[in-house]
């Protein structure tokens, strides 16, 4: 069989060409970079302060490679988490009673708060090795990516159309076949988009994941983040600008080389019909399709994976066990009672610890700081909405402007806004401005683009017949905005506002405490409280601040965002 298969594999259409040679050189270069980075990760740490970050721009390409590798390592871990945790939650009703609330809480916990706990843990796993610090940095980036991707997968698996489910049952697909032939393809478009959004969140964490300061632990990992941290400490504005330019190149490179082909590939799994002309394939995908041997190899691998996905594993629909309803209900009731008991026990233990560790005035003080941060988040979301909602509607109603704006919004959302923090600090110090007021815009600087992107997406998908009816009835001015435009984009706007507010809460730890050389600014708020406790290595107060912030986020989501989202979905969605 091998003798017959090999000539077919190496047929005239599969013979290597110049494009194969270029691809082979690129893969060899990538392998060398991975091997070099792996060798550095296994090196010993002679002293916590031994790492030296050079501000010479010639070092930036190597730093950029190290940072990008950490980003994609975290993205790979996030995918593994998504395909285990989220799938388990979607497929098991009883497991979802635990997994979904835990994921909701994890999404509400400030990302930077994990540093205090994870650095000690990973450094303890690999004492005296760079690998422990590398894993701590990757885990910090992972926490900014995984929750968003897991929720996307969970929601997609729960929203598979019933008619497609019926088709799968009609074909007699097993559980394994249905998962790979229906569930995963249906979730791919949303998962790819959320992976892009997660990469944006990961870039914000670069500076803090590579420059680790927790108590007496001070670690610098070679990368763009540590380069920026060193430049800020040395007041080297030119080095910050070099880092910004390098970041622009890196984001553009991975967008064009990785995400654009991935988005084009994921478009084949879309279920929505559209009259718009299909977008042209990205240039990278066109070049890959021009290879001969590489395309043949990837096609063979794809066929093998397809065969694995088609294995008849698991039960078929007609083989499902049919139990009696009453025992199942009793089992659900017992499971719920057990979970409630465990939750009450955990709350009791937390109350005992908090009562012995913190005083009531301190607890009230931290809650008050949370209220101040909440006011900043709400004010910034409202301000960003006043600017980007009308601008997004105007841009989205024109197809050409919409395509250009979506690319720019994605690019700006991916750019780490904390690289601009030193500029704000210089201006605040120079003009002697109030830190409590002028540090506040830093919270929304990087997350405001989610509002713009969602509004543009809503306006660009506005039903043409509805716009034509409004023109025929001569609906103009304020009436057009109140009766046509704003109701039409409301569901998408709320999605963007939820993402922006969540990002603002996480950014509060960095935005309420900013520095430039010896100039350190701090605003009164919960973010500054957590940041100071993290630097001091005060685990108890970091935990208190994280708990209070998570409680604020959860309560605000339950009391404000979810009711608004449900109302908008019921009254204003185009279905």
Stronger pLDDT, 557 or 332, i.e. the higher one: 557
Beta strands in 181-294 (DSSP E): 211-214, 217-220
According to the model, what pLDDT value does residue 383 have? Answer: 93
Whether 385 shows a pLDDT value over 90: the answer reads yes
pLDDT band at 214 (very low <50, low <70, confident <90, very high): low
Q: How far apart are CA 144 and CA 197, in angstroms?
A: 10
Pinpoint the residues of the chain covered by CATH 1.10.3720.10.
58-272+280-315, 356-574
Which of 109-113, 390-394, 460-464 has the largest mean confidence?
A: 390-394
Stronger pLDDT, 86 or 51, i.e. the higher one: 86
According to the model, what pLDDT value does residue 29 have? Answer: 74
Average pLDDT for residues 221-225, to the nearest whole number? 86
Q: How far apart are CA 523 and CA 438, in angstroms?
A: 9
According to the model, what pLDDT value does residue 298 have? Answer: 76
Q: Where are the alpha helices (DSSP H) in 358-485?
A: 360-396, 399-414, 421-431, 435-438, 448-460, 464-472, 477-480
User: Which residues are registered as beta bridge partners of 516?
Assistant: 519
**pTM of the complete model:** 0.78
Q: Are 497 and 478 within 8 A, CB to CB?
A: no
Least confident range from 254-268, 286-300, 307-321, 524-538: namely 307-321
According to the model, what pLDDT value does residue 368 have? Answer: 94
pLDDT tens digits for 125-179?
A: 777 777 888 888 888 888 888 888 888 888 888 878 888 888 878 777 888 888 8
pLDDT band at 48 (very low <50, low <70, confident <90, very high): very low
According to the model, what pLDDT value does residue 20 have? Answer: 67
Whether 275 shows a pLDDT value over 70: the answer reads no
Least confident range from 3-12, 291-300, 302-311: namely 3-12
Average pLDDT for residues 14-20, to the nearest whole number? 66
Which of 182-196, 262-276, 362-376 has the largest mean confidence?
A: 362-376
Beta strands in 472-575 (DSSP E): 513-516, 519-522
Question: Cα-flanking dihedrals φ and ψ of residue 217, to 5°?
Answer: -95, 120
Whether 325 shows a pLDDT value over 60: the answer reads no
Average pLDDT for residues 117-130, to the nearest whole number? 76
pLDDT band at 328 (very low <50, low <70, confident <90, very high): low
Average pLDDT for residues 564-568, to the nearest whole number? 84
Stronger pLDDT, 358 or 323, i.e. the higher one: 358
Q: How many CB atoms lie within 10 A of CB 349?
A: 10
Whether 319 shows a pLDDT value over 50: the answer reads yes
Closest among 13, 46, 199, 200 to 130, alpha carbons compared: 46
Q: How much of the chain, in percent, has pLDDT values that exceed 90?
A: 7
According to the model, what pLDDT value does residue 47 have? Answer: 47
According to the model, what pLDDT value does residue 42 have? Answer: 65
Q: How far apart are CA 411 and CA 499, in angstroms?
A: 16
pLDDT band at 270 (very low <50, low <70, confident <90, very high): low
Whether 278 shows a pLDDT value over 90: the answer reads no
pLDDT band at 373 (very low <50, low <70, confident <90, very high): very high
Dmax of the chain from CA atoms? 81
Q: How far apart are CA 130 and CA 221, in angstroms?
A: 8
Q: How many CB atoms lie within 10 A of CB 129?
A: 17
According to the model, what pLDDT value does residue 324 have? Answer: 47
Angle at 17 between CA 12 and CA 23, to 5 degrees: 130
Give one DSSP letter per residue of 245-261, joined into a string.
Answer: HHHHHHHHHHIIIIIHH
Chain centroid to Cα 193, Å, comes to 10
Strands 211-214 and 513-516: unpaired
Q: How far apart are CA 105 and CA 108, in angstroms?
A: 5
Q: How far apart are CA 414 and CA 434, in angstroms?
A: 29
Average pLDDT for residues 247-254, to the nearest whole number? 86
First-to-last C-alpha distance (Å) of the chain: 54
User: Which residues are registered as beta bridge partners of 515?
Assistant: 520
Whether 397 shows a pLDDT value over 90: the answer reads no
According to the model, what pLDDT value does residue 367 have? Answer: 93
Angle at 31 between CA 27 and CA 32, to 5 degrees: 120
pLDDT tens digits for 65-96?
A: 889 888 999 999 999 999 999 899 888 877 88
Average pLDDT for residues 30-53, to the nearest whole number? 66
Class of the domain covering 58-272+280-315? mainly alpha
Q: What is the DSSP letter of 416?
A: -
Whether 332 shows a pLDDT value over 80: the answer reads no
Whether 470 shows a pLDDT value over 70: the answer reads yes
Q: How much of the chain, in percent, has pLDDT values that exceed 70?
A: 83
Q: How far apart are CA 396 and CA 215, in angstroms?
A: 48
Stronger pLDDT, 343 or 479, i.e. the higher one: 479
pLDDT tens digits for 524-551?
A: 898 889 888 877 777 788 888 888 888 8
pLDDT tens digits for 421-466?
A: 777 888 888 788 888 888 888 888 877 888 887 888 788 877 778 8
> For 195, what's the count of Cα atoms within 13 Å in the CB-facing half-sphere?
27
Which of 172-186, 358-372, 542-556 has the largest mean confidence?
A: 358-372
Across the chain, mean pLDDT equals 79
CATH of domain 356-574: 1.10.3720.10
Whether 497 shows a pLDDT value over 90: the answer reads no
Average pLDDT for residues 260-274, to the nearest whole number? 73
According to the model, what pLDDT value does residue 371 have? Answer: 93
Under DSSP, is residue 197 helix (H, G, I), strand (E, B) or coil?
Answer: helix
User: Which residues are registered as beta bridge partners of 522?
Assistant: 513
């Amino acid at each position: 069989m091998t003798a017959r298969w090999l000539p077919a594999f190496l047929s005239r259409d599969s013979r290597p060409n110049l494009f194969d040679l270029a691809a082979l050189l690129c893969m060899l270069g990538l392998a060398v970079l991975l091997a070099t980075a792996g060798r550095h990760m296994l090196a010993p740490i002679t002293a916590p302060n031994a790492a030296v970050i050079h501000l010479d721009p010639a070092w930036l390409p190597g730093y950029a490679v190290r940072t990008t590798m950490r980003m994609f390592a975290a993205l790979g871990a996030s995918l593994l988490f998504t395909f285990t945790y989220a799938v388990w939650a979607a497929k098991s009703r009883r497991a979802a009673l635990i997994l979904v609330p835990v994921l909701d809480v994890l999404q509400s916990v400030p990302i930077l708060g994990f540093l205090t706990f994870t650095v000690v843990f990973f450094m303890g796993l690999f004492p005296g090795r760079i690998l422990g610090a590398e894993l701590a940095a990757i885990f910090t980036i992972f926490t900014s990516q995984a929750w968003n991707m897991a929720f996307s997968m969970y929601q997609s698996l729960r929203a598979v159309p019933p008619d497609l489910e019926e088709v799968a049952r009609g074909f007699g697909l097993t559980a394994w076949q249905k998962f790979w032939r229906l569930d995963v393809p249906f979730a791919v478009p949303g998962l790819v988009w959320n992976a892009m959004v997660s990469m944006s969140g990961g870039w914000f964490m670069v500076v803090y994941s590579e420059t680790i300061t927790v108590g007496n632990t001070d670690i610098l990992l070679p990368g763009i983040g540590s380069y920026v941290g060193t430049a800020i400490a040395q007041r080297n504005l030119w080095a910050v600008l070099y880092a910004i330019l390098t970041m622009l190149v890196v984001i553009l490179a991975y967008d064009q080389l990785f995400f654009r082909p991935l988005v084009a590939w994921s478009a084949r799994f879309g279920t929505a019909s559209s009259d718009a002309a299909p977008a042209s394939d990205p240039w990278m995908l066109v070049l890959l399709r021009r290879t001969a041997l590489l395309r043949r190899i990837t096609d063979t691998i794809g066929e093998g994976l397809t065969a694995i996905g088609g294995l008849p594993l698991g039960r078929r629909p007609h083989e499902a066990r049919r139990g009696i309803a009453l025992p199942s209900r009793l089992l659900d009731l017992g499971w719920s009672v057990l979970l409630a008991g465990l939750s009450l026990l955990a709350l009791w233990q937390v109350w005992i610890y908090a009562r012995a560790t913190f005083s009531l005035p301190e607890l009230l003080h931290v809650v008050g700081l949370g209220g101040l941060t909440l006011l900043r988040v709400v004010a910034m979301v409202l301000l960003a909405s006043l600017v980007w909602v009308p601008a997004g509607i105007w841009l989205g109603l024109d197809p050409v402007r919409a395509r250009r704006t979506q690319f720019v919004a994605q690019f700006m959302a991916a750019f780490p806004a904390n690289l601009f923090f030193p500029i704000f600090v210089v201006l605040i110090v120079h003009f002697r401005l109030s830190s409590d007021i002028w540090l506040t815009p830093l919270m929304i600087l990087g997350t405001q683009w989610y509002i713009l992107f969602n509004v543009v997406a809503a306006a660009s998908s506005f039903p043409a017949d509805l716009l034509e009816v409004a023109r025929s009835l001569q609906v103009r001015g304020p009436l057009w905005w109140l009766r046509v435009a704003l109701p039409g984009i409301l569901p998408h706007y709320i999605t963007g506002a939820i993402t922006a507010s969540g990002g603002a809460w996480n950014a509060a730890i960095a935005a309420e405490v900013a520095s430039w050389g010896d100039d350190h600014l701090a605003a009164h708020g919960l973010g500054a409280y957590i940041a100071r406790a993290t630097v001091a290595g005060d685990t108890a107060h970091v935990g208190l601040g994280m708990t209070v912030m998570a409680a604020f986020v959860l309560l605000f989501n339950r009391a404000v965002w979810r009711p608004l989202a449900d109302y908008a979905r019921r009254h204003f969605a185009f279905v």
